[in-house]
Structures are given as structure tokens and as C-alpha cells.
Structure 1
Amino acid sequence: MSMIKKAVDVDVPVRTAYNQWTQFETFPDFMEGVEEVRQLDDRHNHWTTKIGGVRREFDTEIVDQLPDDRITWRTTTGDTSQKGTVRFERIDDMHTRVELAMEVEPSGATEMAADMTGMLDRRVQGDMKRFKQYIERRGGESGEWRGRITPGNSDTI
């Protein structure tokens, strides 16, 4: 598995950055290669991606979510294996550091080559920069979900 860690400082309050990140269906607006994210319920999303001409569909489950702090996920179906956490750190009232750490298991020759050449790393860095532009241009979030998901608990609080 490859570990990718990237961070970006955004010029919005922590609540705004976090709230926007909970709007998974907007990810295609700033994530390269993500064609669609359908939110199935509070914990589960279905993804359709197309990267390097390879189309993949997979499901993810949020395993830990604490408002204004973190969202942790893992894949549950499909031939893509990944897990990760995005953290939100208040810098001051109008600035937030968004830190993404994810482990990806490349599958297939195209993904392995992309990983070995640093393409996956650069793609994630680009996605983080595009998130910064997206949220700063909007000036506010397009929605929010403020629920709490705890590890090992299938219920939301």
C-alpha cells in the first residue's frame, strides 16, 4: 500500500471547510478523475472514477466522523482498496488547514505505474489545491452534515 499525505490551508473557517467536505456528491467539482459520488446513507457512498482511461466503481464506508475535526473512511466493495482520514485544523477564525492522509493499494498495471511515477501523489495534491479554490470561490459551504459516527458503531449519533 502507498501512503499519500497532503495538506492545504484554506481561507475559510474550520466549520465551513468541514461542512463542504461532508458534501460528497460535490467531489467531482474539484477531484480529478471522479465522475460521480452518490451518497447512499450517512455512512456509505458509491464512487465512479475514470483515471488513465480505467473506469472503476466502488463503495466506501465512513468509520469515524467528528464534526470540525475528522472524517475517516475505507473501501468496502470494488477492486479499489483504500482507507484514509481527512482532518480539519483551525488556524484562526478565518483559516483552516485541511490534511489528507490515505493509503491506496494500486490494482492493475495502469495504477501501479501511476503510483511508481508519483502520479497518484500529484493528483491528490491537485485535488487539495482545487478544493481550496472551490471553497474560497464559493465563500461558504453548499450544505452540511454535522452527525457523529464512532468507530465500531453502525449507528450515527
Structure 2
Amino acid sequence: MPTIEKTIDVKVPVNIAYNQWTQFETFPNFMDSVVNVKQLDDRHVWWLAQIGGKAVEWEAEITEQVPDDHIAWRSVSGIRNTGVVSFQHVDVHSTRVRLEIEYETDTVAETAASMMGVLELKISEDLERYRQLLESRKAPAGGWRGHIPSDADNALRH
């Protein structure tokens, strides 16, 4: 599966960058291909996107979430993908956001787009809109501060 890794610095504290990312239903505001997102429960999120002129949906499960540090996920239906977004303190007013997504292409057109860097460019543009959204806000957005332990953490406790 192809992997895309992108990093962007945003001029907001870590907690604000993290809090915004936990507001999954706002993703259509900065992710161009995302049409709709619904938070089903603390661990599950339903996505609808427009990819290559085709409506695509999937459900993702959050596999680990540590406030102000990272959120990891994997798809449990639809398009196969996994990823992690991490938040690194740069200074009191800046955060480095690193996004890594691994995804499966299911058509020749998607494979070609991936090879030509089209998806990588789209993700860069989405992250730039995320940065602009955060930096233009006058007040921080809400956020979910819950902790979701990894499957490995759960196994160690039993």
C-alpha cells in the first residue's frame, strides 16, 4: 500500500492543534475531497469522500489516541487505510503536525494518481487549509480530550 507522509508547522499551541483535529465532523471545512464525516462513537468515524469523481465511503476505528500527542486509526470497512497524526511542541505558540497515511488503491486511475503525486499534493493542500483555519481563529475550537489506549496497552492490562 502506498504511504504519504506530510508535516506542517502551525502557529498555535499543541492543545489547540490537537483539539481541532479531534473535531472530525469539521474536516469538510479544510479537506477538499471530504464530503461528510460522522462521529459514531468515541472510537468510530464514518467518512464520505469524492475521489476521482466517485463517491467513496468507509468507517475508521481509532486504534490509539493520546491527547496532545497523536491519534492513530485504521479502516474497518470500505477503502483500506491506516494512519497516524502526531502533534509535536515546537514552542509555546507553535506545533508541528505530522500526518502519515497508508492507503490501498482500487482502480487504475487511483494508482496512476498516486504514482503522479496527485494525492500527496491534495493532502499538502488540505494541511495548508487546516493551518489557515487554526491560525485565523480568534478562539480555540472544542475538542475531545479522551484517551484511547492501543490494543497492545489493553493486552498488557489483562
TM bucket, shorter chain: over 0.9
Give the match for residue 137 of structure 1: 136
2:33 and 2:113 mapped to 1: Cα distance? 13
Shift of 1:105: 1.0
- Residue matched to 1:99: 98
The alignment partner of 1:106 has SS state of coil
Q: Which amino acid aligns with 2:35?
A: E
Q: List, as ranges, runs of 4+ consecutive aligned residues in structure 1 with deviation greater than 4 Å.
A: none
% identity of equivalent residues: 47
The residue aligned with 1:148 is 147
The 5 A counterparts of 1:91-130 are: 91-130=90-129
Any conservation in 2 of the 1:28–1:37 contact (CA below 8 Å)? yes
Q: Could you tell me which amino acid in structure 2 is paired with residue 117 of structure 1? A: M
Deviation at 1:39, TM superposition (A): 0.3
Using the TM superposition, give the Cα deviation of residue 112 of structure 1 relative to its aligned residue in structure 2, in angstroms: 1.1
Deviations 1:87-110 (A, max 9, x none): 000011100000001111111122
Counting only pairs closer than 5 Å after superposition, residues 65-104 of structure 1 correspond to structure 2 as: 65-78=65-78, 80-104=79-103
TM-aligned CA deviation for residue 143 of structure 1: 1.1
Give yes or no for contact 2:9–2:96 (8 Å, CA) kept in 1.
yes
| Aligned residue number for residue 48 of structure 1 | 48
Query: Structure 2: 5+ residue runs without aligned partners?
Result: none
**Residue 33 of structure 1 aligns with which residue?**
33
How many angstroms does 1:139 deviate by?
3.7
Per-residue deviation, residues 35-61 of structure 1 (Å, max 9, x unmatched): 000000011000000022011010000
CA contact 2:16–2:141 (8 Å) conserved in 1:
no
Measure the CA separation in 1 of the matches of 2:138 and 2:112.
Answer: 38
Partners of 1:75 and 1:140 in 2: CA distance: 32
RMSD of the TM alignment (CA)?
0.9
| Separation in 1, partners of 2:38, 2:82 | 18
Q: CA separation in 2, counterparts of 1:19 and 1:45?
A: 16
Tell me the TM-score normalised to structure 1 length: 0.94
Instruction: Report how many aligned residue pairs link the two structures.
Output: 152
Could you say what secondary structure the match of 2:123 adopts?
helix
Structure 1 residues 114 and 140: CA distance shift in structure 2, 3 A: farther
Question: Quick one: distance in 1 between partners of 2:123 and 2:19?
Answer: 20
